[in-house]
Structure 1
Amino acid sequence: MEKALKINLQFGGGAELLFDKIKKREIELANVKKYYPDVETDRWTIRQLLIWIKDNLLKERPELFLQNGSVRPGILVLINDADWELMGELDYELQDSDTILFISTLHGG
């Protein structure tokens, strides 16, 4: 049996308000094909993770977190403290014990 992938998710800068005000979560992801049988890879990517987050964790106003299949502009994404743009963005393949941090830079006024 394949071992589940353990990922640390963190939400800050107001993004946690969309997730029941919970800033940190450790999640376990089973084989990606269990959730998304049509994907071409057996590896979880940020692209599939965002869909999983929307379906399983996002409590309200998904338009404030996601837009056009990615995080909405104004949300910084860090993978193990590195900007996700340096890591391949949506195509980054998740590794066991990765920490994915979503920080909202959007503020109302």
Structure 2
Amino acid sequence: MAASSQTGMSITLEFSGGAELLFGKVKKHHISLDESTTAWTIKKLLIWVKDNLLKERPELFLQGETVRPGILVLVNDADWELLGELEYEIKENDNIVFISTLHGG
């Protein structure tokens, strides 16, 4: 019985530059998003991440419905600003990277 027969879309999330500290110090997460009647967008993904992966201090990762200023988001190595930001529709096997550019001192 192949596990891949379950419904869902597989993607990879990566957190670095200190952002991984908010996610249990785990840099890479392979996740399966449930099929839904509406497309998975980054906006919808951020809510899922907050509810399912974020371990502490959500205010350091999220601001309102988006990521905080100072967090760079890349989708398959492209800046999400070029792809529609929150409205980007996630596709099977996308690699989405969140890099914190803010460093404490």
Q: TM-score range by the shorter chain?
A: over 0.9
The match for 2:25 among 14, 21, 26 is 21
User: For the residues of structure 1 that align with 2:66 and 2:36, how far apart are their CA atoms?
Assistant: 18
TM-score by length of 1: 0.89
Q: Which residue matches 1:100?
A: 96
* Deviation, structure 1 residue 32: 3.3
User: For the residues of structure 1 that align with 2:36 and 2:23, how far apart are their CA atoms?
Assistant: 22
The code of the aligned residue for 1:9 comes to L
Q: Which residue matches 1:44?
A: 40
User: For the residues of structure 1 that align with 2:20 and 2:6, how far apart are their CA atoms?
Assistant: 31
Gaps of 5+ in 2: none
* Structure 2 residue 8 is the aligned partner of structure 1 residue 8: no
Identity %: 65
> What RMSD in Å do the two structures reach over aligned CA positions?
1.4
The code of the aligned residue for 1:27 comes to I
Q: Between Structure 1 and Structure 2, how many residues are aligned?
A: 101
Q: Which residue matches 1:36?
A: none
Alignment CA distance shift 1:2-1:25 (3 Å):
closer
